[in-house]
């Protein structure tokens, strides 16, 4: 399990570091970034927030734009930001931004040519946490969050693995991908035409199955240009209400889909997660 340090910078007493490693689950080299707060030591491993970014993003978008480090340093929370898809010359791609590289959708592809590399679900759930916990002073206590496509990933991964995470949050998530153009395109390519297989990666469908144990915080801007066609938060609200799942979905007046929106509310999300990450 060899990882290579690509860059590092001290920030708010902690460290932002970027690494590459070979991901067995993806059959490709991957890059991730980690923020370690000042109190993270071998004798004091800290809990972690895994952040999943959206379409076209890499590990850099959140780390450079979200403004999360001050609060994470104060709270003593590590942040891990993986890339959004496998990369490399032999990795299948598409000429459009919403499929292929930068658009992994945090699922395990079953269809050629995507299935060779696009096993992002396994990477996020299993392989990456093992890499992090083996190489850094980070405990197995974790929460998950994300934006847009990454909000979809955070919700579905958290809902399917409630024993692995303490809490879930999301900004502008693709809440019902089976019913929106982004999701339908990606699911058809990666998973084929079986609607039952699509349900495994749709947060609305997963919430319909029963009450989740995990608390969820979702922020959605009402000026988001993707709100009605792609994101569909009303579907998530309805599904959560069926069995009384703990969802706090806040419509934020005037905010759009950008990192200006994320940076405004990221501290509230970190404090939300801290309540559960540090609970006995």
Which of 169, 202, 224, 235 is an active site residue?
A: 224
Cis previous bond, 184, omega within 30: no
Closest by CA position to 239, among listed 192, 194, 173, 184: 173
Cβ atoms of 126 and 120 closer than 8 Å: no
Cβ atoms of 169 and 218 closer than 8 Å: yes
Beta bridge partners of 273: none
Beta bridge partners of 81: 33
Terminal CA-CA length for the chain:
31
Q: Which two tokens stand for residue 273?
A: 């997660």
DSSP line for 235-258: HHHHHHHHHT--EEEEEETT--SS
Which of 148, 167, 169, 245 is an active site residue?
A: 148
User: Is 122 considered catalytic here?
Assistant: no
Which of 16, 117, 257, 269 is an active site residue?
A: 257
**Alpha helices in the chain, H assignment, sequence order:** 60-65, 69-75, 120-122, 128-135, 149-160, 181-191, 195-199, 203-208, 233-243, 259-277
User: Is 257 considered catalytic here?
Assistant: yes
User: Is 117 considered catalytic here?
Assistant: no
Query: Which residues are part of the catalytic machinery?
Result: 148, 224, 257
């Amino acid at each position: 399990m060899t990882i290579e340090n690509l860059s590092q910078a001290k920030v708010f007493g902690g460290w932002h570091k970027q690494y590459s490693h070979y991901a067995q689950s993806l059959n490709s080299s991957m890059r991730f970034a980690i923020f370690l707060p000042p109190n993270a030591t071998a004798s004091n491993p800290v809990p972690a927030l895994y952040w999943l970014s959206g379409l076209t993003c890499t590990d850099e978008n959140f780390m450079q734009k979200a403004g999360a480090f001050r609060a994470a340093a104060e709270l003593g929370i590590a942040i891990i930001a993986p890339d959004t898809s496998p990369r490399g010359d032999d990795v299948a791609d598409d000429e459009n931004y919403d499929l292929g590289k930068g658009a992994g959708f945090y699922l395990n592809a079953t269809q050629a040519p995507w299935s060779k590399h696009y096993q992002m679900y396994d990477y996020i759930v299993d392989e990456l946490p093992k890499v992090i916990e083996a190489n850094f002073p980070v405990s197995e206590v974790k929460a998950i969050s994300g934006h847009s496509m990454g909000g979809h990933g955070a919700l579905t991964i958290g809902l399917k693995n409630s024993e692995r995470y303490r809490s879930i949050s999301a900004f502008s998530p693709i809440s019902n991908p089976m019913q929106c153009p982004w999701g339908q395109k990606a699911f058809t390519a990666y998973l084929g035409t079986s609607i039952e297989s699509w349900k495994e990666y749709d947060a609305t469908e997963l919430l319909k199955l029963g009450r989740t144990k995990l608390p969820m915080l979702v922020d959605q801007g009402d000026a988001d240009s993707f709100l009605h066609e792609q994101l569909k938060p009303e579907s998530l609200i309805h599904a959560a209400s069926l069995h009384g799942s703990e969802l706090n979905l806040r419509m934020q007046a005037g905010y759009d889909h950008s990192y200006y929106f994320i940076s405004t509310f990221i501290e509230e999300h970190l404090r939300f997660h801290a309540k559960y990450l540090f609970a006995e």
